[in-house]
């Protein structure tokens, strides 16, 4: 997603809803606009076999083709990394989680995301319902480095919640830490409240290594 900064506002398809309308929201505290994405991967990137890929949402499994047929959101939203950089007005297409709830009802207080390589993140259900399952960027599928074939996205939460290479979504009544939450990052991660770290917020960022441009086992 190496893109120039752009501005614009969201537009929805059908009855889907998502939070925010791109750069109309402005810049959250502690962030700075940058022109290009920095891609990270906390764990070794996985192999992706799109023909066999299935996203499990609770007890429902969906193929990539089925997911594309369910798109109900197209618009521009801002992307915020917890380390302090933001990219404005990214053109996104996906499925609102409210829309996805028509076939996989979110029963629980939290949504837990698990990636193909084992990475996890967790969000409260009220935040889950404000997000989308991101499938396309700038009119094309996500690239492998961007998390192909699918990842959750929440404009109002820091991007570590947006688990790449998504494998499953489970709904829980009790909170559990995800990968970065277990390492001191905030349980929710609201960008407008600067919820970067747990407790008093006095933590510090752990080292992240940018992904290399060429990754084995490509995704498309």
DSSP assignment string, 38-99: --B-SSPPPP--TTT-EEEETTEEEEHHHHHTT--EEEEEEEE-TTSEEEEEEEEEEEEHHH
State how beta strands 140-141 and 85-96 pair.
unpaired
If you average pLDDT over every residue of the chain, what do you get? 83
CA angle 35, 19, 177 (to 5 degrees): 85
* pLDDT tens over the chain, length 220 residues: 332 222 233 333 433 445 444 456 789 999 999 977 766 556 677 789 999 999 999 999 999 999 999 999 999 999 999 989 999 999 999 999 999 999 999 999 999 999 999 999 999 999 999 999 999 999 999 999 899 999 999 999 999 999 999 999 999 999 999 999 999 999 999 999 999 999 865 555 554 444 443 333 222 2
pLDDT at position 8 is 32
pLDDT at position 24 is 66
pLDDT at position 114 is 98
Q: What is the pTM of this model?
A: 0.81
Domains of the chain as residue ranges with CATH: 28-35+51-183 (3.90.420.10)
Say how far apart CA 137 and CA 59 lie, in whole Å: 28
pLDDT at position 25 is 72
SS3 125: helix
Q: What is the pLDDT of residues 10-54, one digit of tens each?
A: 333 433 445 444 456 789 999 999 977 766 556 677 789 999 999
């Amino acid at each position: 997603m190496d893109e120039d900064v752009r501005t614009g506002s969201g537009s929805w398809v059908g009855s889907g809803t998502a939070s925010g309308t791109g750069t109309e929201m402005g810049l959250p505290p502690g962030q700075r606009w940058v022109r290009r994405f920095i891609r990270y991967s906390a764990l070794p990137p996985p192999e992706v076999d799109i023909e066999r890929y299935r996203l499990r949402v609770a007890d429902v499994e969906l193929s990539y083709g089925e997911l594309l047929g369910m798109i109900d959101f197209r618009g521009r939203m801002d992307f915020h990394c917890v380390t302090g950089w933001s990219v404005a007005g990214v053109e996104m297409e996906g499925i609102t989680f409210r829309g996805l709830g028509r076939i996989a009802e979110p029963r629980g207080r939290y949504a837990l995301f698990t990636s193909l390589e084992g990475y996890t993140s967790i969000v409260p259900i009220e935040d889950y319902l404000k997000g989308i399952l991101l499938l396309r960027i700038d009119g094309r599928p996500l690239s492998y480095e961007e998390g192909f074939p699918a990842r959750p996205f929440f404009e109002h939460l820091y991007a570590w919640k947006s688990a790449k290479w998504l494998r499953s979504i489970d709904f829980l009544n009790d909170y559990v830490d995800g990968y970065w939450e277990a390492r001191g990052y905030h349980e929710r991660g609201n960008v407008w409240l600067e919820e970067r770290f747990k407790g008093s917020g006095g933590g510090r960022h752990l080292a992240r290594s940018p992904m290399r441009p060429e990754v084995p086992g490509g995704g498309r």
